[in-house]
Amino acid sequence: MEHLLNLLIKAIFVENVIFAFFLGMCSFLAVSKKIKTAFGLGLAVIFVMILTTPLNYLILTYMLKEGALAWIHPSLANVDLTFLAFILFISTIAGAVQIVEMAVEKFTPALYNSLGIFLPLITVNCSILGTSLFMQEREYNFVETVVFSLGAGIGFFLAIVLLAAIRERLRYANIPAPLQGLGIAMIITGLMGMAFLSFSGIQL
Amino acid sequence: MAVETAPAPVVEKKKEPLFSKKNIRTLRDPLDDNNPITVQVLGICSALAVTVQVKPALIMALGVIFVTAFSNLIISLLRHSIPTRVRIIVQLIVIATLVTIVDQVLKAYMFDVSKKLSVFVGLIITNCIVMGRLEAFALANKPWPSFLDGIGNGVGYGIILVVVAVFRELFGSGTLLGYQVVPQWAYDMGYVNNGLMMLPPAALFIIGIYIWVQRSWNKKLINVS
């Protein structure tokens, strides 16, 4: 139990997808102009994350790994399909995003309109595919995968809402013209990353 | 089943030379005026984590150039036969296939670099540059300009990657491509490597400052956002 809590804290703060790995920076920078939209996108990302990563774990364990196909026929025990991982992972994610998009459109049309193009673009949000790939590289088991994907999702949510809040305040700041917009957002993200570095080494 | 096809662009009958002025512009624009990272704000995602040293950054840049160039070429060849509704999936499959090739080649011939890049090779798939250029350029243009556009954007991306990596490796560990650059006597006199450069935030600072310098230089980019 402690081990899982530790993994969750680590995924949220210490190895935050944005500040430690720069995953999902495109939508992070583009959708963080207003808190409300950032909030909606963050929730959508958490949801897609905890849906797709465990799904990808099951695909990896029961279809792709060496010997995983033995349950069909013993002669398939030597088949190793891990090189197909990229294609299958991204297909799962694209499918899940499609479902989320339809659900959001039906139940909260206002959020759907404000997210606009960025909802389908969750498919190409690096943080989602990145979490699946980290799951594969670090060889988590199923429970760990669920906890890790939840942590990564919350980490993204936290980061994007924080940046949106700072950028709303920045509208009243006097920034040199060439630095406005993207430049200052980058530097602020860097400063926030330094703040998050202070979490490193925390063990529960 | 009704199949929707992308609206066919007006085909120009005039035959243009292989490196006409327009094609050169397609190739050169992404290097500065329309740089994928600092102007289009695409593909920052998987890029910055590989810039602690120059060598992985170079390999990553080559991988991205390969993928953007050939995915642009393939999608442009297929642009009349892809139904618009499923184009995202088709694009993803083409990109994922090319990335798988890059990943397998790296694993076979450069295992240590492949370990260092870890998941970031796979993340070329979701690199917004590739997808963005397919949507914005390859779906509406002929194969050869699309190929050039892919190379241009890949190189534009690579330049930023290498610039950031040079700064981080030089000031962070005093080496370039693994060779010692900062001489020993400097260390003896009290010079210390900047530990911040090895940490992730340094990449963001360097890009932020790069954007600042570029936009002060090139005033028309201001407020492009």
Nearest Cβ partner for B41 among A29, A83, A178: A29
Distance, in angstroms, between B134 CA and closest chain A CA? 13
Residue B12 has pLDDT above 50, yes or no: no
Q: What is the pLDDT of residue B47?
A: 64
pLDDT-derived band at B10, boundaries 50, 70, 90: very low
User: In angstroms, how far apart are the furthest CA atoms of chain B?
Assistant: 76
Distance, in angstroms, between A107 CA and closest chain B CA? 23
Selected for mutation to probe chain B from A17, A28, A90 (highest B CB count within 10 Å) is A90
Q: Does B44 sit within 8 Å of A22, measured CB to CB?
A: yes
pLDDT-derived band at A149, boundaries 50, 70, 90: very high
Residue B9 has pLDDT above 50, yes or no: no
Nearest Cβ partner for A187 among B119, B200, B204: B204
What average pLDDT does the segment A4-29 reach?
A: 84
Q: What is the pLDDT of residue A152?
A: 92
pLDDT digits 0-9 by tens, B69-114: 999 999 888 888 888 777 777 888 888 889 889 888 888 888 888 8
Torsion of CA B120, A125, A48, A98, to 10 degrees: -120
* CA A123 to centroid of chain Cα atoms: 10
Instruction: Name the nearest CA neighbour of B85 among B3, B166, B30, B21.
Output: B3
Q: Supply the ipTM of this predicted assembly.
A: 0.77
pLDDT-derived band at B44, boundaries 50, 70, 90: confident
Q: Are A130 and A21 in contact (CB under 8 A)?
A: yes
Q: A153: buried, middle or exposed (CB in 10 Å: 19+, 13-18, 0-12)?
A: buried
pLDDT digits 0-9 by tens, A180-196: 778 888 888 889 888 88
Distance, in angstroms, between A203 CA and closest chain B CA? 20
Residue A154 has pLDDT above 90, yes or no: yes
Closest residue in B to A133 (Cα–Cα): B119
pLDDT-derived band at B183, boundaries 50, 70, 90: confident
Q: Does A90 sit within 8 Å of B92, measured CB to CB?
A: yes
Contacts of B205 in chain A (CB under 8 A): 186-187, 190
What average pLDDT does the segment A106-132 reach?
A: 78
Residue B116 has pLDDT above 50, yes or no: yes
What average pLDDT does the segment A98-106 reach?
A: 82
Q: Does B43 sit within 8 Å of A26, measured CB to CB?
A: yes
CA distances from B139 to B73, B75, B85, B160 (A): 10, 7, 13, 26
Nearest Cβ partner for B45 among A24, A90, A181: A24
Instruction: Name the nearest CA neighbour of B46 among B34, B63, B31, B29.
Output: B63
Amino acid sitting at position B70: F
Q: Does B99 sit within 8 Å of A182, measured CB to CB?
A: no
Helix, strand, coil tally for chain A in percent (to 5): 75, 0, 25
Residue B8 has pLDDT above 60, yes or no: no
What average pLDDT does the segment B191-199 reach?
A: 80
Closest residue in A to B128 (Cα–Cα): A124
Distance, in angstroms, between A84 CA and closest chain B CA? 8
Residue B200 has pLDDT above 90, yes or no: no
Mean pLDDT over each residue of chain B, to the nearest integer? 78
Residue A150 has pLDDT above 90, yes or no: yes
What average pLDDT does the segment A92-106 reach?
A: 83
Q: What is the pLDDT of residue B16?
A: 56
pTM of the model: 0.80
Question: Under DSSP, is residue B199 helix (H, G, I), strand (E, B) or coil?
Answer: coil
Q: What is the pLDDT of residue B17?
A: 61
Closest residue in B to A194 (Cα–Cα): B201
Q: Does B208 sit within 8 Å of A179, measured CB to CB?
A: yes
Selected for mutation to probe chain B from A25, A156, A170, A180 (highest B CB count within 10 Å) is A25
Q: What is the pLDDT of residue A117?
A: 63
